[in-house]
Amino acid sequence: ESPGEVFLLVSGLVEKLRTRDKLYGSLPVGSLIGGNAMLDNRPSRHTYRASSFVRVLRLPAALFATVVKRHGLLDRVRRAADLSAFLDTTNLFGDGLQVAVLGRIIDSASETRFNPGDTIVGQDISVFNIIRSGRVERLIGRRVVDVLQQRDFFGEEAAVFNDPCLFRIRVLEEA
C-alpha cells in the first residue's frame, strides 16, 4: 500500500534499515521519508527507526505529488530517488548525505555504459566512478590487481587528490 503521507525530517536522528540486503544508514536533517514509495505507488522498501527525539513535518501524499508535478519536478525527483537509493547501498555513502550535497551530486552525475573488453581511459578514469552493475578489473601493466563489482569505485585518485591514475581499468561484464 502506498503511503498516505510523506515526512520531512526537521530534527533528530533517524536510521534507515533494509535488513534483507544488510543496508543500514542514517538520514540527515532535510531528508524526505516516504517520497519514493509515494511517487512509485508502492510500500517503502525500508524501515525507519528514530534513534533520538525526532521532529518531522507531515505532508499529505497527494499535496506532495501535486507540488512535484505542478513545478515540473517529477523527472528530477525520480532521478534523485533512483540515484539516492543506489548511493545508499554503497559503503561510501550508506550513512546518508546532507540534502544539499546529494543535490549537487545528482546535478553533476552522469551514467556511462561500457562493454566487455573496453578499456576505461581519459576523462572516464579521471573522475570518481561508482559501478552500478557489471565487473571491471584494475590492472598495473598486465597484472590484475583486483576485480571491482557493483558498488565498488575507481578514479578517486584523480577526483580527490588530483593525482594521475596508476591503473588501467578493463571491463569484464557490461558496466
pLDDT, one tens digit per residue, over 38-86 is: 777 788 878 899 999 999 999 998 898 899 889 998 888 888 878 877 8
Backbone angles phi, psi at 31, to 5 degrees: -70, 150
Distance CA 175, CA 19 (A): 26
Which pLDDT band holds residue 24 (cuts at 50, 70, 90)? confident
pLDDT, one tens digit per residue, over 85-94 is: 788 778 787 6
Q: Which residue has the cell 538520514?
A: 27
* 42 vs 136, residue with greater confidence: 136
Contact between 30 and 9 (Cβ < 8 Å): yes
Does the structure show a pLDDT above 70 at 95? Answer: no
Burial call 65-96: b when 16+ CB within 10 Å, e when fewer: beebeeeeeeeebeebbebbebbbbbeebbeb
Distance CA 94, CA 125 (A): 23
Strands in 5-11's sheet, in edge-to-edge order, are 32-33, 5-11, 55-60
Does the structure show a pLDDT above 70 at 171? Answer: yes
**pLDDT at 101 (0 to 100):** 80
CB atoms within 10 A of CB 175: 22
Distance CA 94, CA 56 (A): 22
Percent of the chain with pLDDT over 70: 94
Q: Helix 74-88 crosses helix 61-70 at what angle (to 10 degrees)?
A: 120
